Amino acid sequence: MTEASPAAPLQLDAVALTLPSAAGPVEILRGVDLTIASGERVAIVGPSGSGKSSLIAVAAGLEEPTAGTVRLFEQDLAKLGEDARARLRRGRAALVFQAFHLLPNMTAEENVATPLEITGARDAIATARDWLARVGLSGRLSHYPHQLSGGEQQRVALARALAARPALLFADEPTGNLDGATATAVADLMFNLVAEVGAALVMVTHDPALATRADRIVRMADGQIQA
């Protein structure tokens, strides 16, 4: 008997997003179809304003589409309220942003441990310290974000995102605020850790070299997937 393939963690069908503006409605996404397989690494590329970041926001349940269906871990997000979407993401999907989004009043250790504590994970502090060691920050546990370089902040963000071993990582320009050498080091770390936990990766990037490291490149223009 053939073993069944694991269900796709993410599926978008005919997804549209229209937002109001002073000049009238603006179509941000137009009929997007996209399926991400378990463990697959996908790069989303395209010019500024093509809808890449909006696609991430809709796929993660942070923005509600105007039309179409988003299924995250086989759950139709349209049938879930905001709190239910947050519970669905918790521990199963994680996000990394260009601007890091660390909590400024928490240390590196606290930034990683707090989400684990919210999910009820045991030994959150020990897990946070282990993951900060994995990203090379054992000596920076008690440092606050303003005491860390951009590369170090993104390493903390990666540790925070992956410490719960999610099945899906969304990364929106994860190296966009970093210089060339630091960006390469962070990208290496991200791909290695994603492979270690077995997560799928959906990554928005303007960096062609980073995009070519993915299993598949999805090109967007004018709110639509081109290839």
When computed from its CA atoms, the radius of gyration of the chain, rounded to whole angstroms, is 18
Q: Please tell me the predicted confidence (pLDDT) of residue 1.
A: 42
User: pLDDT per residue over 172-191, tens digit each?
Assistant: 999 988 988 999 999 999 99
pLDDT tens digits along 104-124 = 999 999 999 999 998 888 899
| Measured distance CA(129)–CA(133) in Å, rounded | 6
Look over the chain and give the mean of its residue pLDDT values, rounded to a whole number.
Answer: 93
pLDDT digits (tens, 9 = 90+) for 189-199: 999 999 999 99
Three-state SS sequence of 67-118: EEEEEECCEEHHHCCHHHHHHHHCCCEEEEECCCCCCCCCCHHHHHHHHHHH
Over range 136-150, report the average pLDDT: 96
Q: pLDDT exceeding 70 applies to what percent of the chain?
A: 97
Label residue 2 by pLDDT band (50, 70, 90): very low
Domains of the chain and CATH, by start? 1-92+166-227 (3.40.50.300), 103-164 (no CATH)
Mean pLDDT (whole number) for 67-95: 93
> Which residues are CB-neighbours of 145 under 8 A, at least 6 positions away?
100, 102, 103, 104, 108, 111, 153, 156
CA 109 from chain centre, in angstroms, equals 20
Instruction: Flag whether pLDDT at 227 surpasses 90.
Output: no
Report residue 159's pLDDT band, with 50, 70 and 90 as the boundaries. Answer: very high
More confidently predicted of 153 and 120 = 153
Please name the amino acid found at residue 162.
Answer: L
Tokens of 74: 């086989």
Q: Tell whether the model's pLDDT for residue 90 goes beyond 60.
A: yes
